[in-house]
Structure 1
Amino acid sequence: MNGYERRKQKKIENIYSVSFQLFFKFGFQKVSVNEIAQKANVSPATIYNYFGTKEQLYTDMLMNWMDKQLEQYENILDSELSFPEKTKEIMLLEAKNLNILSDEFPRSPSSELSGLMQMMEKYNEQKVMHFFNKFVSLGKQAGYIHKDQTEEMTMFYFTMYKNELGRYWEASDQERVTRSMDQLIGLFFYGLVGQVQDQK
């Protein structure tokens, strides 16, 4: 990457950062390209040159944010933590991210961002499923996911659990939720009966 490309990429990252802050604070409709440009110290023409429309900027910004979150998940999965600890960290991050998204999406007009949901579905199919399959494979290797359990049912269970965690996170004191995570992860892996070997 030459000097021009590096400067361009730095500008784009700055625009993403500023637009993320503004969109998620005020919603899509209430933020103008001029406001983003002013706060990002670029001209409105630069934004239109890079993204074409405000809608495209929003979509690209969101995809960029999701890529960064997925990279954090990957880093957790590749870490030296035990599999339950990895699961705990991923679920906490997912609860926080669901909270961010649920705060924003109700304020995003579907008519103006009609292609966004399809893009997110495609993103889920291509990138998230790849990550989740890796998660399941590691869980099976570590003995925390039964070897006969399908990816589909494991994802159903994981999604159900983290969605409820997200709602609990939003409705409760987040520090208290974090303190409860060890118990929640115990329930996730062993259910109400707990670790059977502990009872022998």
Structure 2
Amino acid sequence: MNGFEKRAQQIKQKIMQATTEMLRESGSAKLRIADLAKRAGVSQVTIYNYFGSKEALVREVFKSYIDRAVESFEAYMNEGHTMREKIGHILRLEKESYREFPPGLIKEMLAEDAEMAAYIERMYREKTIPMTVRIIEEGKAAGEIAERVSVRHVLTFIQLYMNQYQTLLEMAEHSEDNEDFLEGMVHMFFYGVCGKA
């Protein structure tokens, strides 16, 4: 990468970082290129030259975030962790992602952008589900999942859990020790109320 390309990449990253911050603060509907240019310290023309439109910029920021999260988790998957560690890692990643992109913001962005919604659906189908099935199958092979519990059972249970994850995070934030609260929820995920570690 030559000096010009490196500088261009730095400018692009600065714009994307400012966009992420502003999306968290006020959502995509209130995001204005003029305000974004001021925050990023670039001209509006520069933003349009790099991204073409506000919609394309928001789409690229969100896709970039999703791609990094998937790559990071795939790397973690290949490090030899137990199923319990992998599931715990998923729940911690969810906690981080809810801070970066709160569920309301994600719903707003997906409702406004059919291309982004299709991308998320494709990533879920092609990456998330296969990775989750792999975790479950490896857990079954290692004896970490009861014989009578099927892959479908675990997928359903994970979906039920994730559907309520925003509520769990809010409860964790209001507890005295949110890490301990989440660790307790991970324990219940695996062992139920009466199970042992």
Give the TM-score normalised by the residue count of structure 1. 0.79
Distance 1:147 1:38, change over 3 A: farther
Query: 1:6 maps to what in 2?
Result: 6
Q: Distance in 2 between matches of 1:10 and 1:194?
A: 51
SS at match of 1:31: coil
Query: 1:125 maps to what in 2?
Result: 125
SS at match of 1:115: helix
Query: 2:27 maps to what in 1?
Result: 27
Which of 56-65 and 36-45 deviates more? 36-45
Q: Does the CA-based 8 Å contact 1:76-1:90 persist in structure 2?
A: no
Which of 145-154 and 174-183 deviates more? 145-154
Q: Distance in 2 between matches of 1:109 and 1:74?
A: 24
SS at match of 2:114: coil
Give the TM-score normalised by the residue count of structure 2. 0.80
Q: What fraction of aligned residue pairs are identical, expressed as a percent?
A: 25
Q: Distance in 2 between matches of 1:11 and 1:170?
A: 35
Indicate the structure whose relative CO is greater, using CA pairs within 8 Å and at least 6 residues apart: 1
1:42 has 2:50 as partner: no
Query: 1:17 maps to what in 2?
Result: 17
Query: 2:103 maps to what in 1?
Result: 102
Distance 1:147 1:75, change over 3 A: farther
Matches within 5 A, 1:93-172: 93-98=93-98, 100-105=101-106, 107-108=108-109, 110=111, 112-146=112-146, 150-172=150-172
Alpha-carbon shift at residue 169 of structure 1 (Å): 1.0
Distance 1:13 1:149, change over 3 A: farther
Matches within 5 A, 1:176-191: 176-191=177-192
Query: 1:91 maps to what in 2?
Result: 91
Structure 1: tracts of 5 or more residues without a match? none
Structure 2: tracts of 5 or more residues without a match? none
Q: Does the CA-based 8 Å contact 1:28-1:109 persist in structure 2?
A: no
SS at match of 2:160: helix
Alpha-carbon shift at residue 109 of structure 1 (Å): 8.2
Q: Does the CA-based 8 Å contact 2:16-2:61 persist in structure 1?
A: yes
Q: In the alignment, residue 87 of structure 1 is paired with which amino acid? A: I
Deviations 1:161-190 (A, max 9, x none): 233233111244266342033332232222
Alpha-carbon shift at residue 137 of structure 1 (Å): 3.5
